[in-house]
Structure 1
Amino acid sequence: MSGQRPVWFSHRFLSAMGAPGPRTLWTLCVCFTALRTNALRVTMRESAVEVVRGDFVILPCSFFTSSPLSRLNIIWTLAPFSSPESPIQVIVYDHGQIIEDPSLIGRVGFTGIPWSADIMVNDTRVSDAGIYRCMVNNPPETADPGIGELLLTVLVAPSLPACQWDGNMDAGGSVTLSCSVAEGVPTPEMRWDKLNPEEISLPINMEGELSGSVQIVNVSSQTSGLYRCSTSNVLGTENCYVNLSVYSAVAGSSSGILQGVLLTLSMSLMLLALLVLVTWLHRTGQDGPWRVSKEEEEEEEGYNVIRYTPSLMKRSFV
């Protein structure tokens, strides 16, 4: 009997209240639901937000409360992509006072306090990207603060890529074209193309997210031309170029050309030496032994002339 007493007491109590038991229970449930509905709620109007580096962005955070805002407390935190395990406190509103993180002073602020928990971040940087949490507490609404979360992505255009080549440019060798870019969000898409005589897309081997290469084996004269590396994302495209020149000769022609050049050079040297010799002989003939020989010949001719004197021409007669 004692186990039935609480049921009897409940019916007597409900009857004393002047209402049937089931109807009163439904009324109590509705009131309890209303109380829960009037409790503090936080709503993030966006789950993800994007901004171009250097621009400003508004991070939305709405809340509903039925209590006065004299004890309102709002805290924004950031878990950066670079170190998600070490969140930082971005900005705080506590009993009418605003406290900013020292690294964000002048770049972050509330836009509609105390009626809204929205904040604005200007001059955005890559380090601002990450997961933001908005925590609102308004005693005596509830002991547990309402929490909202959103993802901020800071977009960055691709930087100017760096192109270079390495390898053997002789016919039959191998050449590697490489391209790398310093930054870009989202990660830039990379491609290599040969531009002339006609544009041809080349298969690329990605070496990480920001660099890629193309290997060309058994190069020939057809390999020569202008090559372009392109990096692109939603913010634009950047290019760099490499100009390759491969010289390939027909079999046997190179040796023939070389022999012809050597023969021509040898003949030229021989003609030059002969010309020098003739010039030297000519000069020495005018000023040297030839002149002496001529004088000696004149002297010899003088010895052969018969000289007559007047005394010898006289005759004696008997």
Structure 2
Amino acid sequence: MGSSGRWIIWTLCACFAARQKTALRIIMRESSLEVVRGDSVLLPCSFFTFSDFSSLNVIWTLAPFSSPKTPVQVIVFDHGQVIKNPSLIGRVHFTGLPFSADIILNDTQVSDGGIYRCMVNNPPDTADPDVGELLLSVLEPPSLPVCEWDGAIDMGGSVRLSCSVEEGVPPPKIRWKKVTPEEISLPINMEVQCHQRVSCLSGELSGSVQIVNVSSQTSGLYRCSATNVLGTENCYVNLAIYNNEAAPDSPSGLLPGVLITLVMSLVLLALLVLVLWLHRTGQDGRGTRGDRKSEEEECYNEIRYTPSLMKRSFV
């Protein structure tokens, strides 16, 4: 007997055994599936029944990852009619009725991820509806991370580098690395020893690095990478650590220069006033001595030109 013949006999035996045990049985050909956001995925659900399909009832429900305790109906087939969740109209369809309960989900979204349950009932089968479960994960590449920094960039200060990612399934792993002038890894993991003077913190979709006692060697370009199975996105922070005495545009560095300039200006102004005063005083002194000399000369001339009067007085 050929393999096809043995397969038929085995199937008949399985069906007979299934009928002896229960009137209806569901077989989920997959227990879990993964799909990339935006793609289509087939959710399989096969069932065996010995009754006709006039009263077939199929219900698909979803317990989403965001709220697993509040399942919602996805699609229903009842007495020949199909009812869809309004939010999924145009995206979900049955593909094999009435011989299978498979459905196809198009343009998948991250919110479609969760536990799907396929429930089938086919009266007059007396058994309770059988249920099959399927875990669906909708994968999504990391979104572009946002890099920020805060703290003191003066020598000896403390700087915190933070990186956050809004989207990504599975949750992206975040890594910090100094890329220039030398390459230094800064793993965001409390169990991994970080580079000297660096302590690390971590979060599911965010990560930060605390750098203490910064020096000129801390200056450089830092990169945050968010990575999952679908790819990597990066953002960058450029740190420049300054000496307190030479920090550009620093108020503590500008004030001494302004004071020195002001003092020198006052000294020069005082010297200029002193020189002008001495110059004017000198001119006034020479003018007074000149006037006195003229008066003396006039008096002398008057005495000099009166000899005749002196002569007549003695005659």
Alignment CA distance shift 1:297-1:57 (3 Å): farther
Match of 1:79 among 63, 72, 75: 63
1:208, CA displacement in angstroms? 3.0
Q: State the match for 2:41 in structure 1.
A: 57
Alignment of 1:122-137 (within 5 A): 122-137=106-121
Match of 2:102 among 118, 128, 152: 118
Q: State the match for 1:233 in structure 2.
A: 228
Alignment of 1:154-233 (within 5 A): 154-204=138-188, 205-233=200-228
**Match for 2:159: what amino acid?**
V
**Match for 1:277: what amino acid?**
V
Q: Which has the larger radius of gyration?
A: 1
Q: State the match for 2:268 in structure 1.
A: 272
Match of 2:89 among 105, 124, 143: 105
Tell me if structure 1 keeps the 8 A contact 2:18–2:25.
no
Cα deviation digits, residues 96-134 of structure 1 (max 9, x gap): 101112332232221232233111222322221110011
Q: Matched residues in 2 for 1:64 and 1:247: separation?
A: 76
Match of 1:244 among 232, 239, 242: 239
Alignment CA distance shift 1:266-1:125 (3 Å): closer
**More divergent stretch after superposition (94-103 vs 176-185):** 176-185
1:192, CA displacement in angstroms? 0.8
Q: Matched residues in 2 for 1:247 and 1:30: separation?
A: 79
**More divergent stretch after superposition (160-169 vs 86-95):** 160-169
**More divergent stretch after superposition (234-243 vs 160-169):** 160-169
Q: Matched residues in 1 for 2:299 and 2:36: separation?
A: 119
Q: State the match for 1:69 in structure 2.
A: 53
The gaps in structure 2 that reach 5 residues or longer are 1-12, 189-199, 246-252, 309-315
**More divergent stretch after superposition (126-135 vs 240-249):** 240-249
State how many pairs are aligned.
Answer: 280
Tell me if structure 2 keeps the 8 A contact 1:91–1:100.
yes
**Match for 1:269: what amino acid?**
S
1:236, CA displacement in angstroms? 1.6
Tell me if structure 2 keeps the 8 A contact 1:158–1:184.
yes
CA RMSD across the alignment: 4.0
**More divergent stretch after superposition (210-219 vs 269-278):** 269-278
Alignment of 1:230-309 (within 5 A): 230-248=225-243, 265=261, 268-269=264-265, 272-273=268-269, 276-277=272-273, 280-281=276-277, 289=284, 296=291, 300=295, 303=298, 306=301
**Match for 1:272: what amino acid?**
L
Q: Matched residues in 2 for 1:301 and 1:117: separation?
A: 140
Tell me if structure 2 keeps the 8 A contact 1:38–1:66.
no
Q: Matched residues in 2 for 1:30 and 1:290: separation?
A: 137
1:163, CA displacement in angstroms? 2.2
Q: Matched residues in 2 for 1:31 and 1:105: separation?
A: 36
**Match for 1:213: what amino acid?**
S
Tell me if structure 1 keeps the 8 A contact 2:23–2:127.
no
Q: Matched residues in 1 for 2:102 and 2:121: separation?
A: 15
1:216, CA displacement in angstroms? 1.8
Q: Matched residues in 1 for 2:287 and 2:15: separation?
A: 148
TM-score (norm 1): 0.71
Q: Matched residues in 2 for 1:70 and 1:118: separation?
A: 18
Q: Matched residues in 2 for 1:62 and 1:232: separation?
A: 37
Alignment CA distance shift 1:94-1:270 (3 Å): closer
1:142, CA displacement in angstroms? 4.1
Q: Matched residues in 1 for 2:179 and 2:53: separation?
A: 66
The gaps in structure 1 that reach 5 residues or longer are 1-28, 251-256, 313-318
